[in-house]
Chain A
């Protein structure tokens, strides 16, 4: 087969109704994983200038509408374009985003307060999902963000999420503020 992997990937992603993984693309096209990966990288770049974008979450890829067209697209779809996450929900989502995979207890330890209902509402919105179980007592559920999360924030991939800043809130540092190690 001398076909260009890009062409095949494009076709499959076009007809797909849900995100497609690199593995699926490789097995259906009989191309090597690395060929697929390279082709996907090129495609993402090529689509940067188009009204359709190729987005990535982990090993999964999907064609979506250009995030900056959200207003018009949502009007066409008759969907409300609103970002009504509460401050607390956003805080919880931020923790999951940067610490994934993470358990509920770990989230609650960080926030110092019960977060069960917040996690549940993020699950319902599809912004986070169960990604596995922690190998610990009780095998607690591990949570991570989803492709819907990438879409919700209008990103192309997780690389666009701002880096977590190490304590830069305050500049004045004195001797006593050092954290004992």
Chain B
């Protein structure tokens, strides 16, 4: 066993590569199987959001498959085999760029850098107050603005949305009694953003339930909504 516990690994490939390198192994399936335990140990100690951990877990699953394959020969299936081969390929590829990054870092360590001519400062646009503006004038203007402001900040009103998906569905159904309906026309009825969203959700719901069908001639054009049958 070895201890690479202090390092923070950005992704599963980073971790895998580090484990393989610290064991001085080649990038191949045998090495992957050898480092499976350390890998699992590692991610057990990790703290991260579910999203961050998901990437690590996907790889863990692949490693465990590899390991179980050794114990139970004959459980191979094509799909998993392709995924393993892909993981191996990805790792080889990743190692290449990791190495390239080291070389770039070496160039940077020389602290060489070139500078180009600086753009003339006087050509940079900036704010210039008019000549007639004095300190007193500015003060007066500011007072004027203050006076215009309402005394207490207005309370933000949050209206309870009383609109339901069902309402919109019924509304659309009603509209469809007279035949087809233009999508834009239907959306125009909405008085607020929320209502528009509900309208759209209702439409999606109805498409899913095969109550309506929608047709669009080309990108960004209006949609025609009609009864499914």
Contacts and interface: CB of A to CB of B under 8 A. Distances in A.
Interface in B26-44: 26-30
Interface in B58-95: 59, 85, 88-90, 92-95
A111 B13 contact: yes
B96 A180 contact: no
B229 interface: no
B127 interface: no
B157 interface: no
Contact of A67 (B97, B99, B114): B114
Contact of B28 (A71, A90, A174): A174
A94 B101 contact: yes
B146 interface: no
B122 to A, nearest CB: 13
Interface string A61-88: 0111111101101100101010101011
Interface residues of B, number: 46
Contact of B97 (A19, A53, A64, A98): A98
A172 interface: yes
Interface stretch (A3-11, A22-30, A149-157): A149-157
Nearest to A14: B117
A91 interface: yes
B89 A179 contact: yes
Interface of B: 10-14, 21, 24-30, 55, 59, 85, 88-90, 92-101, 103-105, 107-120
Interface of A: 16-19, 53, 55, 62-68, 70-71, 73-74, 77, 79, 81, 83, 85, 87-88, 90-91, 93-95, 97-98, 109-113, 150-155, 161-162, 164-170, 172-174, 176-180
